[in-house]
Structure 1
Amino acid sequence: MSYKNFPMVPRVVFGRGSFNQLSEIITPKRLNPDAPFIFLVDDVFKNNAWITSRIPLSYDDKIIYISADEEPKTSQVDELVEDIIVTTKERPSGIIGIGGGTLLDLAKAVSIMLTNEGEAKDYQGWDLVKNPAIYHVGIPTISGTGAEVSRTTVLTGPTKKLGINSDFTPFDQVILDSELTKDVPTNQWFYTGMDCFIHCAESLNGTYLNTFSETYGNMAYDLCKEIFLDNTLSDVGSQEKLMMASWHGGMSIVYSQVGIAHAMSYGLSYLLGTKHGIGNCIVFDHLEEYYPKEVALFKTMKSKHNIMLPQGICSNLTDEDFDIMIGVALGLGPLWENALGNNWKKIMTAKKLKELYQKM
């Protein structure tokens, strides 16, 4: 039997205030004065001097502010890459992503596309990337997505929503500074935290489960229960625990896979533009049949934090709309196989999937 030899993030700094070490971390990686560092930063921080004044700019380095209101698209990656190529004298020394999952995924994708020909959509899938990415650093400002540790960069393309899954995707360096998450709004905190919880639920209940995934998954699962059943966001300990839950949750799917909620959430995101975290929550709320214990726990957490999920988002969709969502969701074979086994196509028919979507 052949086992997959997965890469991991080789360097990580953890601790409150560790963002201040960014300059000393990246300075040795500068290729020359004409090869800038490009900082991709969530535009929610545009007027937040507490963060922006600490970004170490020198020479021709630049900050590109990006809205995270929409899920990242392959076309957006292509535009960023073209902009960087046109406006820099030399290939950048590195790409630094500062923000949530959207910004981290964009940073990973841009760093890959600066060294690989064609368009981002050509690399949606598994192990299609030929050349190593340029140096790239991930600095999460919200916890839960696992984007800081995963080997994928989830993108909505012209025909599908699918990640660039490759050995060259993971960051070369991650900085985990929980202080950067202190101003996250409660709803956002819940949705991304539940992304982590759902990662674990799907990994731990999947047919791909192995001891590697299980140990990371159990750790993240238990941390999520602690955070969302016992604590509050303003608690510094909770912020640090969620940062580590995100990391371990991301690690739990490195050697396994996610499942039904993620597959269906991709369909919602592709058709309706539903943000990933909230999409997972909307779907998971209706998956008692597949994850009974975890969905019950999810509903308890939702109630404790007074979270009202959007209702009826699929109520006005046409049959054609449903077919598009179903096509996107069912195109994610490994997720369904992990959730339901080799026989998944007989269990999760288009008719069954449509019935689930119609509840939302």
Structure 2
Amino acid sequence: MQFRNFKMVGYVVYGRGSFDQLDEILSPQRKGDAPMVFLLDHFFKGKALEGRIPLRGKDRLVSADVTYEPKTTQVDQLAKELKDAYGTVSGVIGIGGGSTMDLAKAVGLMMNNPGSSADYQGWDLVKNPGVYKAGIPTISGTGAEVSRTTVLTGPTRKLGMNSDFTPFDQIVLDPVLAEGVPVNQRFYTGMDCYIHCIESLQGTYLNEFSKSYGEKALALCQEVFLHKDHWDAQSDDQLMMASYAGGMSIAYSQVGVAHAVSYGLSYLLGTKHGIGNCIVFNHLEEFYPEGVREFKKMVDKNKIDIPQGICKGLTDEQFDTMINVSLGMKPLWENALGKDWEKQMTRDRLRALYEKL
């Protein structure tokens, strides 16, 4: 039997105010006058966090437009700009949500790999280590800070660059950065973590490694979204750790039906990952009955709107596009339904599921 030998994040710093150590953390990683490139979620343009970034020398601050999830064209363009301007860089630092961190991972990889990032969408296709990469989440739930993938929308599919070279070398988990996230956005992203846990804990790939992390992350999500009367500083601490543990849980297992279906929505309609997972999970009683019941309680308790009818009026061709993208996520379906998943999840069954959304 071959056991999975997977790469984890190199260094982790956790704590309120730990962002202030960033200059000290990055100093040993600087190579001559090659700059550090900071990709900052455009949400923070002109805000206080922008002024706290420790820029030195030729360092470059890029306002990362993550209105839509990262595209291979966006990654390629940014990597080309950096190569043309500097030849090489000391590192790429992603500060923001999952999309910003995924963008940083992808650009970091493409600094040292030829061709287009679309060439590396899949499993273990990346051949060379990227430049130094650090991730700093400002919202909790995606698990992008610890995952070995960087999810990208390419010309023909939405699929990650899944490789041992993808994880960050360093992450900075400072719950203060997550304060003040709008309630709906915090919920959608937090539910990404909750859904990771449900899918991982009920999947066929489950083992004690993923179970240990998944159970802890699930308990933290339940505490924050079900059992607390109001949001407080501790809630930010707890959700940031839930995101980390949820990401670790799927590192050794996989996600499942909600993620596989939401990739189709994202590819065709541009639906953001967190809200897409919520839209899909709302209709998955047949696969995750207890999880969906609890999810609906969380939606009610937190007074959240889950959009309905987003697939209304789509053409057969558009449904086929989503189905093709979704069925391409083979490990996710296998984790959810087992080795014979293709017999269970027919195109007609998947079409009927999309029609409900």
Partner residue in 2 for 1:333 = 330
Matches within 5 A, 1:90-169: 90-169=87-166
Change (3 A) 1:213 1:272: same
Query: What do residues 38-74 of structure 1 show as CA deviations (whole Å, max 9, x unaligned)?
Result: 000001101102x111101111001000122101111
Query: What do residues 102-147 of structure 1 show as CA deviations (whole Å, max 9, x unaligned)?
Result: 0000000000000000100000000001111110000000000000
Query: What do residues 263-314 of structure 1 show as CA deviations (whole Å, max 9, x unaligned)?
Result: 0000000000000000000000000000000000000000011111111100
Partner residue in 2 for 1:213 = 210
Query: What do residues 60-108 of structure 1 show as CA deviations (whole Å, max 9, x unaligned)?
Result: 00100012210111111001101111222x4100000000000000000
Question: For residues 29 and 232 of structure 1, what CA distance do their matches in structure 2 show?
Answer: 44
Partner residue in 2 for 1:272 = 269
Question: For residues 273 and 172 of structure 2, what CA distance do their matches in structure 1 show?
Answer: 23
Asked if the contact 1:36/1:94 (under 8 Å) is kept, the reply is yes
- 1:288 matched to 2:279? The reply is no
After superposition, the CA RMSD in angstroms is 0.8
Partner residue in 2 for 1:80 = 78
Change (3 A) 1:68 1:161: same
Question: For residues 66 and 313 of structure 2, what CA distance do their matches in structure 1 show?
Answer: 26
Partner residue in 2 for 1:47 = 46
- 1:6 matched to 2:2? The reply is no
Partner residue in 2 for 1:237 = 234
Matches within 5 A, 1:168-317: 168-231=165-228, 234-317=231-314
Question: For residues 86 and 186 of structure 1, what CA distance do their matches in structure 2 show?
Answer: 41
Change (3 A) 1:180 1:94: same
Question: For residues 312 and 348 of structure 1, what CA distance do their matches in structure 2 show?
Answer: 22
Question: For residues 155 and 306 of structure 1, what CA distance do their matches in structure 2 show?
Answer: 31
Query: What do residues 153-195 of structure 1 show as CA deviations (whole Å, max 9, x unaligned)?
Result: 0001000000000000000000000000001100110000000
The number of residue pairs the alignment matches comes to: 357
Partner residue in 2 for 1:345 = 342
Question: For residues 232 and 348 of structure 1, what CA distance do their matches in structure 2 show?
Answer: 40
Secondary structure of the structure 1 residue equivalent to 2:219: helix
Deviation at 1:232, TM superposition (A): 6.0
Query: What do residues 327-350 of structure 1 show as CA deviations (whole Å, max 9, x unaligned)?
Result: 000011110010000111111100
Partner residue in 2 for 1:19 = 19
Secondary structure of the structure 2 residue equivalent to 1:170: coil
AA matched with 2:158: K
AA matched with 2:85: T
Asked if the contact 1:182/1:234 (under 8 Å) is kept, the reply is no
Change (3 A) 1:14 1:64: same
Question: What is the percentage of aligned positions where both structures have the same residue?
Answer: 62
- 1:38 matched to 2:45? The reply is no
AA matched with 1:83: E
Question: For residues 350 and 195 of structure 1, what CA distance do their matches in structure 2 show?
Answer: 25
Question: For residues 276 and 165 of structure 2, what CA distance do their matches in structure 1 show?
Answer: 27
Change (3 A) 1:257 1:233: farther
Structure 2: gaps spanning 5 or more residues? none
AA matched with 1:283: V
AA matched with 1:9: V
Question: For residues 148 and 230 of structure 2, what CA distance do their matches in structure 1 show?
Answer: 28
Secondary structure of the structure 1 residue equivalent to 2:251: coil
Question: For residues 233 and 133 of structure 1, what CA distance do their matches in structure 2 show?
Answer: 42
Secondary structure of the structure 2 residue equivalent to 1:162: strand
Question: For residues 171 and 234 of structure 1, what CA distance do their matches in structure 2 show?
Answer: 30
Secondary structure of the structure 2 residue equivalent to 1:253: helix
Give the 4+ runs in structure 1 shifted more than 3 A: none
Secondary structure of the structure 2 residue equivalent to 1:163: strand
AA matched with 2:267: Y
Asked if the contact 1:232/1:238 (under 8 Å) is kept, the reply is no
Deviation at 1:233, TM superposition (A): 6.7
